Amino acid sequence: MSNPGDADETPITSVRQMADYLAAGCKPPEQFRIGTEHEKFGFRLPDLTPPPYHPADGQPGSIRDVLGNLTRFGGEPIPDGAHIIGLKQPDGASVSLEPAGQLELSGAPLDSLHQTKQELEAHFDQVRAASESLSLGFAPLGFHPLATRDAMPWMPKGRYAIMRRYMPLVGSTGLDMMKRTCTVQVNLDYASEEDMRRKLRVSLLLQPLATALFANAPFTEGKPNGFLSYRAQVWTDTDNQRSGIPAVMFEDGFGFERHARWLIEQVPMYFVYRDGRYIDVAGRSFTDFMAGRVAELAGVTPTVGDFADHVTTAFTDVRLKRFLEMRGADAGSPGMMLAQSAFWVGLLYDGAALAAAESLLRGAGWTDAITARGAVPRQGLAAPWRGGTLRDILSDAIGIAKDGLRARGRLNAAGQDETVLLAPLEAIAAGGPVQAEHWLERYHGAWRGDIGRIFQEAAV
């Protein structure tokens, strides 16, 4: 979830206009960039509890203090009413807050994964410097391993107040999604409508594989929960009108206009942002807004900026904006978060690799993706895939990504190409544990059932 964004005040007069908004993201391959986003849970070092937004009497540290300390590195505060809820950095990156204070880095658009690695390392250095004096730490995990939902704080961000009211009306786990999950995603470009369609379908079909590969959420409230990715399970009953893998994306003729129609006809609104405040219209139709049939918005003219905000409220496993967001992975170790970006860049940014991925997936469709997605949270790489399991295509998918990265030829100072970042995935393909399995081994072994140990070992 992003900070308040596009403020384009151009009035909307047609669906074609909204399709053109999306199509404006098309760019030539030489201008393709990589944007990596990740979230992480804050915790108090003395007792592992989540820090609140405001400082609390007798308690060390707060999220507001962390943001304040981060400004020493050049970030410009992003306000929401009287509160600072993020930082805009000079290089195009930003820091924002998820609903319960999960700290998110939205990375700058970068040319290479080596730059992504440098960006992550610099961010972690800054977060440590901003947090240590406050007796706070941060750990990227897919689902909070200890805290109850009620124990997690709320951040003073206008859109979250709207979602807090609305989420329980449309699913049983929406508040868990908001307060107790963390993800990592990579944002990638497309060259044309056809290029978008190809990349979207390949990434939707492979998203269950990514969910399994990066599973990192096996604990809930201090005990194993029976899942490898409970974060992925939470998404199965959050708000299915705006989440998952929509069948429309596999229909003949799908493109920017079809997607725009799906967004305004099928995805209910959350809000409209005007004059520094959020107007709660959760559950209303954007189509009705355009026709003047939403009472709360009487006299308010729909704009391109309103549509841009509405696009951000669709939570599909791959989100189509002016770029594609890969959204199926749990947050994890720095090496795994970099590997997630490397996996998708390798598959999608080289023409031969994209064609090879399409060949690997030939004959697969929406039903296959949905079946795998339903089984992945509990079964991981053993989830069914077209008569076998997801593990059956793992080595081939990683191999294609590796070929794609090698073809890009982006070298670091040591002369290594981007394939070095796939090493954690190659270890899993060779039989090693995914992150969730690693933590379960630690829980049953060295930790002797003390799940609190995960914070020290997972902290960045």
Q: What is the mean pLDDT of residues 386-393?
A: 98
Give the pLDDT band (50/70/90) at residue 7. Answer: confident
Q: What is the mean pLDDT of residues 192-201?
A: 98
pLDDT beyond 90 at 57: no
On whether the pTM is more than 0.95, the answer is yes
CATH of region 15-458? 3.30.590.20
Q: What is the mean pLDDT of residues 191-195?
A: 98
pLDDT for position 185: 98
Q: What is the mean pLDDT of residues 175-195?
A: 98
pLDDT beyond 90 at 316: yes
Give the pLDDT band (50/70/90) at residue 418. Answer: very high
pLDDT beyond 70 at 3: no
Which residues make beta-bridge pairs with 388? 385
pLDDT beyond 60 at 243: yes
Q: What is the mean pLDDT of residues 86-97?
A: 95
Lowest mean pLDDT among 26-35, 75-84, 326-335, 388-397: 75-84
| Structure token pair of residue 280 | 């709660």
Q: Structural domain boundaries of the chain? A: 15-458
Give the pLDDT band (50/70/90) at residue 5. Answer: very low
Lowest mean pLDDT among 59-73, 363-377, 383-397, 440-454: 59-73
pLDDT for position 60: 73
pLDDT for position 412: 98
pLDDT for position 204: 98
pLDDT for position 308: 98
Give the pLDDT band (50/70/90) at residue 17. Answer: very high
Q: What is the mean pLDDT of residues 339-349?
A: 99
Is 88 in contact with 105 (CB distance < 8 Å)? no
pLDDT for position 4: 45
**Average model confidence (pLDDT) across the chain:** 96
pLDDT for position 56: 84
pLDDT for position 6: 46
Q: What is the mean pLDDT of residues 53-75?
A: 91
